[in-house]
Amino acid sequence: MKRTFRLEQLQRGFTIIELLVVLSIMAMAAIVGAQRLLEKFKESQADLAADDISVVGKAVAAYIPANVATLSLNPTTDITIATLQAGAMLPANYSSGNPWGAGYSIRVKRLGAAPGPYQYEALVITNSRWRIGTVDQIALLGRAVRRIGGPGGLTYDATGAVGNGGAWTALVVDYPNANQAGRLAYFVSQATTPFDSIYLRLDGGNAMTGNLNMNSNGIVAATSVNASGTAMPWQVSAAGGFTGTTATATGVVNAGSVTTTGAMTAGTTVTATGNITSSADVRGATLTSDSDIAMGPGGTVSSSGAINIQPNGALTLSASGGTTVAGSGALTVNDTVTAANDVVISSLPSRAAGFSPSTGSLKALAPKLVEMQNYIITANGQTVPRPTCISGGTPNAFILPHVAQGKVDSARWGTQVRLTGAGPWTVVALDGAGLSIPSVNIPATDFAAIVRTFCTY
């Protein structure tokens, strides 16, 4: 009986030891789990702090370009959460979700000299430190800064706030609330840093400090785009005007209208499916038209050189329109000038013996100016045909006697040549006394006259 009781006591003792071991392990696991849960809670608190200050920081970034008229009045302007809510930058029901219950101090600083244009920067900073007991939670603040990104920062001491990776610095002299270690900050900047968050002002008064990358998106609803440099697009489409000193495009320029106060230069061809209209000159080395060149009333075709019309081409004037080719110089052709109606000379000087043409019509003047026929007289009694004149014309002849030598009957030297007859004219040769010179006494080679016949009107 004694041996049996001892065995039961031993068996009962092993069970208690095992229970103690299990309880110890469970206690250790509980402690480790609790620590991990506490760390996760703190990390979530840091993330919450980052998200909350980012909401306020982005609201400030939106507030600045919408209120430059107010912000430009003073070097610094302090705003509040209520200011952002009144401007609809924050919802009316917003309340700070900061895990340690801190509010925010917000100051906007004006940059640049008067009268502007100005740039702006701002610092959003918690108005109290994140401290548990006597320890500033720098590690958790660092996690929050990394979650915020470029605008995020914190204070390590009383000199000011420092940005993520040292990207920016906000000194306490500019931002008095950055005067204590352990505060979380959000920097809104238009300065030349990689983390600019303000680029444009609603009133157009601020200049860009870098390139605007649209990431393949469009610029829409723009009244005008003004550039002092060169615009180099693949394609420019404008429903209104495109105005500038130089526009360079390697692709297509599509526009409702293109207006330039200076010169427009094309290295190759300017092609238009509609009209090319100019209130001044259209100039070029060669003006080529595959169809018509039409001149309006009072229009002029001017050339300091030659106007060449190619073979099988024509310069056509419409009589119905009263079109005129006029010039103060000469019209020179190497072939025939043909007019279906008339050619009019606007001014003719007076001729000898007081003759002054009463008309400039070449059709009226031509019969008076053109010799009809020439005849050489070699014998007495030679006939000369009378010219056939058009209606209103009178046949006439002009005789040019030449030197004559030969026998005379009256012993008086001299000759007379005249025409007689109503039909074919007859040439009569007389000596100095008016006596007929027999033809036998007029050697053909020694006597001659030229008779020119024409019509007068």
> Would residue 202 count as lying in a domain?
no
**What's the pLDDT at 217?**
79
- From residue 258, alpha-carbon distances to 139, 253, 261 in Å are 61, 10, 10
Does pLDDT of 104 surpass 60?
yes
What whole-number distance in Å separates Cα of residue 313 and Cα of residue 320?
Answer: 21
Model confidence at 412, pLDDT cuts 50, 70, 90, reads very low
What whole-number distance in Å separates Cα of residue 176 and Cα of residue 162?
Answer: 14
> Would residue 4 count as lying in a domain?
no
Q: Render pLDDT for 308-322 as a digit per residue (tens, 0 to 9).
A: 777 666 666 665 555
> Would residue 200 count as lying in a domain?
no
What whole-number distance in Å separates Cα of residue 195 and Cα of residue 199?
Answer: 11
What whole-number distance in Å separates Cα of residue 243 and Cα of residue 161?
Answer: 46
**What's the pLDDT at 405?**
55
146: helix, strand or coil = helix
Nearest-CA neighbor of 361 among 347, 337, 345?
345
> Would residue 451 count as lying in a domain?
yes
Structurally, the chain folds into a number of domains equal to: 2
Model confidence at 359, pLDDT cuts 50, 70, 90, reads low
Angle between helices 2-66 and 138-148 (to 10 degrees): 50
Q: Render pLDDT for 271-288 as a digit per residue (tens, 0 to 9).
A: 777 777 777 777 777 777
Does pLDDT of 376 surpass 90?
no
Residue at which a domain ends, from 137, 157, 189: 189
Residue at which a domain ends, from 189, 210, 230: 189
Instruction: Give 313 or 85, the one with higher predicted confidence.
Output: 85
Instruction: Give 164 or 336, the one with higher predicted confidence.
Output: 164
What is the rounded average pLDDT for all residues in the chain? 74
> Would residue 237 count as lying in a domain?
no
**What's the pLDDT at 106?**
97
Structure tokens at 287: 């003006």
**What's the pLDDT at 6?**
53
Least confident of 81-85, 340-344, 449-453: 340-344
The domain in which residue 175 lies consists of 33-189
Strand partners, 456: 394
**What's the pLDDT at 399?**
77
Instruction: Give 369 or 222, the one with higher predicted confidence.
Output: 222
Average pLDDT over residues 231-257: 63
Least confident of 32-41, 178-187, 257-266: 32-41
Instruction: Look up residue 150 and give its amino acid.
Output: G
Q: What is the full DSSP assignment across 5-48?
A: HHHHHHHHHHHHHHHHHHHHHHHHHHHHHHHHHHHHHHHHHHHH
> Would residue 162 count as lying in a domain?
yes
Does pLDDT of 255 surpass 70?
no
Least confident of 32-36, 74-78, 159-163: 32-36
Looking from the CA of 118 toward its CB, the CA atoms found within 13 Å total 21
Percent of the chain with pLDDT over 70: 55
**What's the pLDDT at 196?**
47
What whole-number distance in Å separates Cα of residue 254 and Cα of residue 271?
Answer: 12
Residue at which a domain ends, from 122, 155, 189: 189
What whole-number distance in Å separates Cα of residue 391 and Cα of residue 394?
Answer: 9
> Would residue 378 count as lying in a domain?
yes
Nearest-CA neighbor of 214 among 228, 223, 229, 225?
225
Least confident of 24-33, 53-62, 167-176, 197-206: 197-206
Q: Which of 68-72, 201-205, 316-320 has the highest mean pLDDT?
A: 68-72
Model confidence at 440, pLDDT cuts 50, 70, 90, reads low
Instruction: Give 402 or 77, the one with higher predicted confidence.
Output: 77
Q: What is the full DSSP assignment across 159-186?
A: SEEEEGGG--EEETTT-TT--STT-EEE
- From residue 183, alpha-carbon distances to 56, 173, 174 in Å are 15, 16, 16
The long-range contacts involving 386-394, CB below 8 angstroms and separated by at least 24 positions, are 386/423, 386/424, 386/425, 386/453, 387/453, 387/454, 387/455, 389/455, 389/457, 390/455, 392/457, 393/367, 393/455, 393/456, 393/457, 394/455, 394/456, 394/457
**What's the pLDDT at 206?**
55
What whole-number distance in Å separates Cα of residue 164 and Cα of residue 151?
Answer: 7
Would strands 252-255 and 160-163 be described as parallel, antiparallel, or unpaired?
A: unpaired
Model confidence at 103, pLDDT cuts 50, 70, 90, reads very high
> Would residue 353 count as lying in a domain?
no
Model confidence at 175, pLDDT cuts 50, 70, 90, reads very high
Are the CB atoms for 56 and 84 separated by under 8 Å? Answer: yes
Instruction: Give 285 or 117, the one with higher predicted confidence.
Output: 117
Structure tokens at 210: 């870098």
Are the CB atoms for 380 and 438 separated by under 8 Å? Answer: yes
Work out the end-to-end distance of the chain between its first and last CA atoms, rounded to an integer number of angstroms. Answer: 181
Show the DSSP H helices in 67-137 as ranges. Answer: 68-71, 81-86
What whole-number distance in Å separates Cα of residue 126 and Cα of residue 118?
Answer: 27
